[in-house]
């Protein structure tokens, strides 16, 4: 083929016949069909009487820049590349066994077997999702006897786990509350800002974390919520605040509700750990139920990634508590309208798992026992880490904040340089804000982690 091309180009270098047009000559030179080079660059190189002509296509996507790596998922990529035997992945919030292996709940396997036995099909769900799931998830969140359920004042739509449910709610805010601001805690889960930015919903922050005490800056939180424009959406973590693990006390929740009511704000809860934080479904829903009991209109996004281990099933819901059944019907219709062009309808597999577990008394009790086991393992690791830090650190530093935090995350108080030192020297992979996932820690490695934290805290400024 190459010799044929050279022969063609050599022939093309001879004086052309007077009868050939310039267009025909060019066609003969390239031995190609006539074409437009509108989006190409043309390079010509001469070899004696032979002229080589090549085209280099210019991509229409040359203006697309490289996106930065995800700060959380990128931690796992770096961890996988590390060959050190002592390495720890404390970045991603996913439950691990004491052997640091992924865990599929026994109750999930039983629920899946029920689906196989029944021969459940894979037909499309309605836009709002599986009816049995929507009923179960609302009852888990509010309590089956809650007046808002009996009065049909809750619009529940199955979403793509917590992230998708938050995004659907953000689209509702953007469309029907134009210009309304969402105020979020500082710090917060890294994806919250991305979600509101993508939905073009303006946001600002309220103070939450106090680095001096490694605790809650309650006065700053109240002050900033008061200062927010009337009618703002206040994003709250229902339990096990991510990333800090610091929750308000019941008395503080009451004061937060007071201020939100006074300012005519709308509370917007992200509930990602119900039952997984304390081991009790009811205890972890107490903050949401407090606001609902005050007859406030509330938005609540739910996720079953953690408490049922359904990370990849993408199963969750958005609930909107309204002042009337008529308002709830209209809100639900608009949530469905927003969902249709986004993803059309949600996945069925995870929804059936939840419906099967909650709908069967035996499976439901087994689930609660497994949640208590998972929450208990994390509590044991938290206690062991505290004990190890207290025994090894001779500086007198108070590490008790680790025990005061709750859920799978702990905010260590380490800064960016210290967190990087944890990775570079100790092979401990974590987010740069100092957050660690205790779900990725075993009792056997608590002393090793304590050594790494003490070294990084005291020897890296």
DSSP 153-220: -EEEEEEEHHHHHHHHHHHHHHHHSTTPPEEEEES--HHHHHHHHHTT--EEEEE-EETTTTEE-HHH
Low-confidence ranges of the chain (pLDDT < 70): 1-56
Neighbours of 343 (CB within 10 A): 15
pLDDT at 11: 44
- 130's CB contacts (< 8 A; 6+ apart) are 158, 346, 348, 351, 352, 355
pLDDT at 210: 94
Range 126-359 has CATH code 3.80.10.10:
no
pTM of the model: 0.85
pLDDT at 80: 87
pLDDT at 92: 78
- CA of 317: how far to CAs of 118, 157, 166, 196, 353, in Å? 25, 6, 9, 17, 14
- CA–CA gap between residue 96 and residue 355 (Å, rounded): 24
The token pair at 190 is 């890294």
Neighbours of 271 (CB within 10 A): 27
Which H or E run includes 437? strand 435-437
Sequence-ordered strand ranges (E) for 298-396: 298-303, 315-321
pLDDT at 55: 65
pLDDT at 18: 46
Residue 270 falls in the annotated catalytic set? yes
Spatial contact of 404 and 246, defined as CB atoms under 8 Å apart: yes
CB-based burial, 69-108: b 16+ in 10 Å, e otherwise: eeebeebeeebeeeeeeebbbbbbbbbbeeeeeebebebb
Partners of residue 327 on adjacent β-strands: none
- 78's CB contacts (< 8 A; 6+ apart) are 423, 429
Partners of residue 88 on adjacent β-strands: 428
Q: Where in the chain is the domain with CATH 3.40.640.10?
A: 126-359
- CA–CA gap between residue 177 and residue 408 (Å, rounded): 34
- CA of 39: how far to CAs of 3, 32, 51, 63, 237, in Å? 29, 17, 22, 14, 51
What single-letter DSSP state applies at residue 439?
Answer: G
pLDDT at 147: 97
Range 73-103+366-459 has CATH code 3.30.70.260:
no
pLDDT at 69: 78
Catalytic residue among 189, 367, 399, 426: 189
- CA–CA gap between residue 79 and residue 77 (Å, rounded): 5
Residue 306 falls in the annotated catalytic set? yes
Which H or E run includes 54? strand 50-57
Summarize pLDDT for 236-272 with one digit per residue, the tens: 999 999 999 999 999 999 999 999 999 999 999 999 9
Catalytic residue among 217, 224, 247, 270: 270
Task: Name the residue among 136, 194, 164 with its Cα closest to residue 305.
Answer: 164
pLDDT at 19: 52
Residue 367 falls in the annotated catalytic set? no
Query: Which residue shows structure tokens 């982690």?
Result: 449
Catalytic residue among 181, 224, 306, 384: 306
pLDDT at 31: 52
Spatial contact of 225 and 265, defined as CB atoms under 8 Å apart: yes
Strands 435-437 and 409-411: antiparallel
């Amino acid at each position: 083929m190459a010799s044929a091309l050279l022969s063609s180009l050599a022939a093309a270098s001879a004086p052309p016949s007077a009868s050939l047009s310039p267009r025909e000559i060019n066609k003969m030179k390239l031995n190609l069909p006539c074409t437009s080079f509108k989006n190409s660059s043309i390079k010509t190189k001469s070899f004696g009487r032979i002229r080589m002509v090549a085209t280099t296509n210019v991509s229409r996507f040359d203006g697309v820049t490289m996106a930065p790596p995800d700060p959380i998922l990128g931690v796992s990529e770096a961890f996988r590349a590390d060959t050190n035997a002592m390495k720890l992945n404390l970045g991603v919030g996913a439950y691990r066994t004491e052997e640091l292996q992924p865990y599929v709940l026994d109750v999930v396997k039983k629920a899946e077997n029920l689906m196989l036995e029944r021969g459940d099909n894979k037909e499309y769900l309605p836009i709002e999702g599986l009816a049995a799931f929507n009923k179960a998830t609302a009852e888990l969140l509010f309590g089956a006897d809650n007046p808002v359920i009996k009065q049909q004042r809750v619009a529940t739509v199955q979403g793509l786990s917590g992230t998708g449910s938050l995004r659907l709610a953000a689209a509702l805010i953007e469309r029907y509350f134009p210009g309304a601001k969402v105020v979020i805690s500082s710090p917060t889960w890294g994806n919250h800002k991305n979600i509101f930015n993508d939905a073009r919903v303006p946001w600002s922050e309220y103070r939450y974390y106090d680095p001096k005490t490694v605790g809650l800056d309650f006065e700053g939180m109240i002050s900033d919520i008061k200062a927010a424009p009337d009618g703002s959406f206040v994003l709250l973590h229902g339990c096990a605040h991510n990333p800090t693990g610091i929750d308000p006390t019941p008395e503080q929740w009451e004061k937060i509700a007071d201020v939100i009511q006074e300012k005519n704000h709308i509370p917007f809860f992200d509930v990602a750990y119900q039952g997984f934080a304390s081991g009790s479904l009811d205890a972890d829903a107490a903050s949401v139920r407090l606001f609902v009991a005050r007859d406030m209109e509330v938005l609540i996004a739910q996720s079953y990634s953690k408490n049922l281990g359904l990370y990849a099933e993408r199963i969750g819901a958005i609930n909107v508590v309204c002042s009337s059944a008529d308002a709830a019907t209209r809100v639900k219709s608009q949530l469905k309208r927003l969902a249709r062009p986004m993803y059309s309808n949600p996945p069925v597999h995870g929804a059936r798992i939840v419906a099967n577990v909650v709908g069967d008394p035996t499976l439901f009790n087994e689930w609660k026992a497994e949640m208590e086991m998972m929450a208990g393992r994390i509590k044991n690791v938290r206690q062991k880490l505290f004990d190890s830090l207290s025994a090894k650190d001779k500086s007198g530093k108070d590490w008790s904040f680790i025990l005061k935090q709750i859920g799978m995350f702990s905010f260590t108080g380490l800064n960016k340089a210290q967190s990087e030192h944890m990775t570079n020297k100790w092979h401990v992979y974590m987010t740069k804000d100092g957050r660690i996932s205790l779900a990725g820690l075993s009792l056997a490695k608590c002393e090793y982690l304590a050594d790494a934290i003490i070294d990084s805290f005291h020897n890296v400024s």
